[in-house]
Amino acid sequence: MKLALGPLQYYWPRQQVLDFYEAIAATPVDIVYLGETVCARRHELRVQDWADIAQKLAAAGKQAVLGTQTLIESESDLKTLRRVVDEKDFLIEANDMGAVRLLSAEKRAFVAGPFLNIFNAATLNMMARLGATRWVMPLEMSAAVLTDLQAARPAGLETEVFAYGRMPLAFSARCFTARHFNLQKDDCQFKCLEFPDGLLIRTREGEEFLTLNGIQTQSSKVYNLIGEVDAMRDMGVDILRISPQSQHTPALLDLFRRRIDGTLEAEAARSEMADLGLAEPCNGFWHGKAGLEQIAAQAGAR
């Protein structure tokens, strides 16, 4: 099984991003997804900057993949999308059907991203025919549904599972971070820069609930499938995706690597990672339950 680092969901200052990926180059990660996939207003790095990082990571032996923006609204968003697709040296992750159209028209191989809603064999096969060489399971999908899809999956198509991180649960035209500061999106003053891991929403009784990340809403809990690595291997999952956070990402990649390689047991991994997460773990989606639930390892064995 290979290890991937998902696209950076948050908005960090330019130097922090550059430093982050320099550190990533030295980790045991196989695949790195790059690019601004959340908000078009974020401009600390442009497409060319991401392509430069991709070059460096490729030189360090990683497979660099450029992701497209998930929610496309304006003509200028489409321009950026075309600009990303023009990066012919790299594999592209298509995060909406517009990207799929552009890539398949050029007969390019692509990664079918997690927001394309691939829930059944017919859609999965169609994506493969259009050029997908890899697909990322929707976050809300369960192991049981994945098992059926694995059985029906066309030859040569890799399966990737989001295995660690706060989950991107929803996208909106509205920017909730700007809204918190009574700002309009068009004049957001780039408030996201102040929240390297998003802005926490609590319920009125103080329970951590969701995370605001600009136009994206995430879980507050951290999806963590470290306990399911063996099960995923048995199911033929090819790649595990870890989502970047501002602290401890290299340590988490190292930990997943050791778990995949079998040099670290699940229980030891869990205790080693206890202090590395942004919040408590959850794994409900994998077990076909509410996403915020945490199902114990044995009870969850399938």
Partner 1 sequence: MTTFTAKPFELVCPAGALPALKAAVDNGADCVYTGLKDNTNARNFTGLNFDDAQLREGIRYAHDRRAKVLLALNTYPQTATWSRWTAAVDKAADFGVDAIILADPGLMEYAKTKHPQLRLHLSVQGSATSYEAINFYYEQFGIQRAVLPRVLAMPQVEQVVKNTPVEIEVFGFGGLCVMVEGRCALSAYVTGDSPNTVGVCSPGKAVRYEQTPEGMETRLNGVLIDRFAEGEKTGYPTLCKGRFEVNDETYYAIEEPTSLNTLELLPQLMDIGVKAIKIEGRQRSPAYVAQVTKVWRAAIDLALKNRQGYIVREAWMAELNKVSEGSMHTLGAYYRPWK
- The answer to whether 74 contacts partner 1 (rule: CB under 8 A) is yes
DSSP 224: E
- The answer to whether 31 contacts partner 1 (rule: CB under 8 A) is no
Contacting residue, 36, 87, 93, 96, with partner 1 by CB under 8 A: 96
Contacting residue, 176, 228, 244, 255, with partner 1 by CB under 8 A: 176
- The answer to whether 79 contacts partner 1 (rule: CB under 8 A) is no
Q: Which CB, 14 or 180, lies closer to partner 1? A: 180
* DSSP secondary structure, 188-218, as one string: -TTGGGG-TT-EEEE-TTS-EEEEEETTEEE
- The answer to whether 107 contacts partner 1 (rule: CB under 8 A) is no
Q: Which CB, 63 or 142, lies closer to partner 1? A: 142
Q: Report d(CA 177, CA 301) in Å as an integer.
A: 39
Shortest approach of partner 1 to residue 229 CB, angstroms?
Answer: 23
Contacting residue, 161, 199, 229, 240, with partner 1 by CB under 8 A: 199
Q: How many CB atoms lie within 10 A of CB 61?
A: 8
Q: Which of 138, 111, 121 is nearest to 286 (CA)?
A: 138
- The answer to whether 138 contacts partner 1 (rule: CB under 8 A) is yes
Would residue 251 be called left, alpha or beta, if left means φ above 0 and alpha means ψ between -120 and 50 degrees? alpha
Stretch that binds partner 1, among 43-51, 58-66, 140-148, 263-271 (CB under 8 A): 140-148
**What track of x and - describes contact with partner 1 for positions 266 through 285 (by CB under 8 A)?**
------------------xx
Alpha-carbon distances of 215 from 64, 164, 192, 272, rounded to whole Å: 25, 21, 10, 33
Contacting residue, 28, 55, 89, 184, with partner 1 by CB under 8 A: 184
- The answer to whether 251 contacts partner 1 (rule: CB under 8 A) is no
- The answer to whether 77 contacts partner 1 (rule: CB under 8 A) is yes
- The answer to whether 108 contacts partner 1 (rule: CB under 8 A) is no
DSSP 185: G
Please, are residues 294 and 270 in contact by the beta-carbon 8 Å criterion? no
Q: Which of 269, 282, 276, 2 is nearest to 167 (CA)?
A: 282
Q: Which CB, 26 or 173, lies closer to partner 1? A: 173
